[in-house]
């Protein structure tokens, strides 16, 4: 005759649940902060966050327009620093979100501008903005994303180890009843 045993948990102490929820929220915030840091690193390293490929180079006209505005450099997504500095983590209803200024979405996904620069006087490198009748696209420079690979990265795995340890500590605070 087989021996059978069973048991059930009839309660979950509120203090234990509160501690577990606190640790889940902490982990969510840490993961969001890491994701924001990785978005900034993508810009720093000039690499697509998902594929790891290099960003498309700036057009000569964009570099010339930057110079005319007193902005040096030819790296994509790095001009005034507004985009880079706008990457932040904010709390929301479900946890935390990584946000960026609105035009960051266009840079991330690529877009077709209404007007494009056309040289009006090549000797002075001046440009006029004309309608974009040929639908010339500004290429995507994917700096802002949470790809599946994010969860396989060493940095995230270290966060996860800390979370698992802290969650284990919270669980160990619960009352243990042995069933014989």
What are the pLDDT digits (tens) for 107-159? 999 999 999 888 876 656 688 889 999 999 999 998 888 888 888 889 999 99
Note the pLDDT of residue 158.
96
Note the pLDDT of residue 118.
86
Answer whether 18's CB lies under 8 Å from 26's CB: no
Low-confidence stretches of the chain (pLDDT < 70) are 1-13, 121-125, 175-180
CA 129 to CA 117: how far, in whole Å?
4
Residues in the chain: 180
Note the pLDDT of residue 46.
94
Q: What is the pTM of this model?
A: 0.79
Note the pLDDT of residue 93.
86
Q: What would the DSSP string read from start to end of 101-133?
A: -HHHHHHHH-B--SEEEEEEETTTTEEEEEE-T
Answer whether 120's CB lies under 8 Å from 61's CB: no
């Amino acid at each position: 005759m087989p021996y059978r045993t069973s048991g059930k948990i009839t309660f979950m102490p509120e203090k234990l649940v509160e501690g577990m929820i606190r640790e889940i929220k902490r982990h969510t915030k840490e993961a969001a902060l890491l994701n924001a840091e990785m978005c900034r690193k993508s810009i720093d390293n000039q690499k697509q966050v998902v594929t790891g490929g290099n960003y498309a180079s700036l057009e000569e006209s964009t570099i010339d327009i930057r110079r005319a505005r007193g902005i040096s450099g030819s790296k994509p997504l790095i001009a005034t620093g507004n985009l880079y500095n706008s990457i932040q983590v904010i709390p929301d209803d479900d946890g935390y979100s990584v946000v960026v200024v609105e035009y960051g979405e266009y840079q991330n996904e690529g877009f077709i501008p209404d007007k494009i620069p056309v040289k009006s006087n090549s000797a002075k490198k001046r440009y006029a903005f004309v309608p974009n009748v040929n639908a010339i696209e500004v290429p995507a420079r994917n700096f802002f994303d949470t790809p599946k690979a994010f969860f396989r990265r060493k940095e995230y795995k270290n966060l996860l180890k800390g979370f698992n340890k802290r969650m284990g500590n919270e669980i160990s605070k619960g009352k243990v009843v042995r069933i014989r």
